[in-house]
Each structure stands twice: as C-alpha cells, then as structure tokens.
C-alpha cells in the first residue's frame, strides 16, 4: 500500500480515513483470530474430557480385573483347604 498520510478514501460512497480502514481490518482480523482461539479451546477441552474418560474407564477395568483375580484366587485357595 502507498504511504499516504491520513487521506480520505472513498469506499462505496462513504469517506473513510486510511487509519480507520486499517484499524477496522485489524479489528476484523482480531475477531477472526479469536474465533480460531475459541475453536482451539473447544477442541482442547474435548480432547481433555476424552482423555479423562478413557483414563477413568481403564482404571475401573483394572480394578475390576484385580478384584476378580483376588476373589478367584481366594476361592480356589479356600476350597483346597
């Protein structure tokens, strides 16, 4: 872009200064950037929730397997006595 000091630019019949136009473009880019941040935050939250659920399920399965093994071993041990 040309370095024109604060010249009125005609856009659709309305007069905008170059500074205002630039600040609006920056503002729109900032909003678009925030939308991307929101999407990233939502994805991160979903991934964290999925990981927590998987960890909880794995822990529950391990506990159930250990309890079943202990019960079976104790039953076999007491039945041999």
pLDDT for 65-77, tens place per residue? Answer: 999 999 999 998 8
> Looking at the domain assignment, is residue 31 inside a domain?
yes
Give the chain's domain count: 1
Q: Is residue 67 part of a domain?
A: yes
pLDDT of residue 21: 56
In angstroms, rounded to a whole number, what is the distance separating the alpha carbons of residues 77 and 22?
A: 81
Encode pLDDT of 30-49 as tens digits: 555 566 667 778 888 999 99
Three-class DSSP category at 2? coil
Q: Is 2 part of a structural domain of the chain? A: no
In a domain, 69, yes or no: yes
**Domain-located, residue 56:** yes
pLDDT at 7: 46
pLDDT digits (tens, 9 = 90+) for 48-64: 999 999 999 999 999 99
81 - beta bridge partners?
A: none
Residue 12 inside a domain? The answer is: yes
Question: What is the value of pTM for the model shown?
Answer: 0.49
pLDDT digits (tens, 9 = 90+) for 1-21: 445 444 444 444 444 455 555
State which residues form the domain around 15: 8-80
């Amino acid at each position: 872009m040309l370095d024109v000091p604060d010249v009125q630019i005609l856009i659709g019949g309305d007069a905008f200064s170059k500074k205002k136009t630039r600040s609006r473009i920056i503002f729109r880019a900032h909003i678009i950037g925030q939308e991307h941040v929101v999407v990233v935050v939502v994805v991160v939250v979903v991934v964290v929730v999925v990981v927590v659920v998987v960890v909880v399920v794995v822990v529950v399965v391990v506990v159930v397997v250990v309890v079943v093994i202990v019960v079976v071993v104790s039953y076999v041990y007491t039945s041999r006595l």
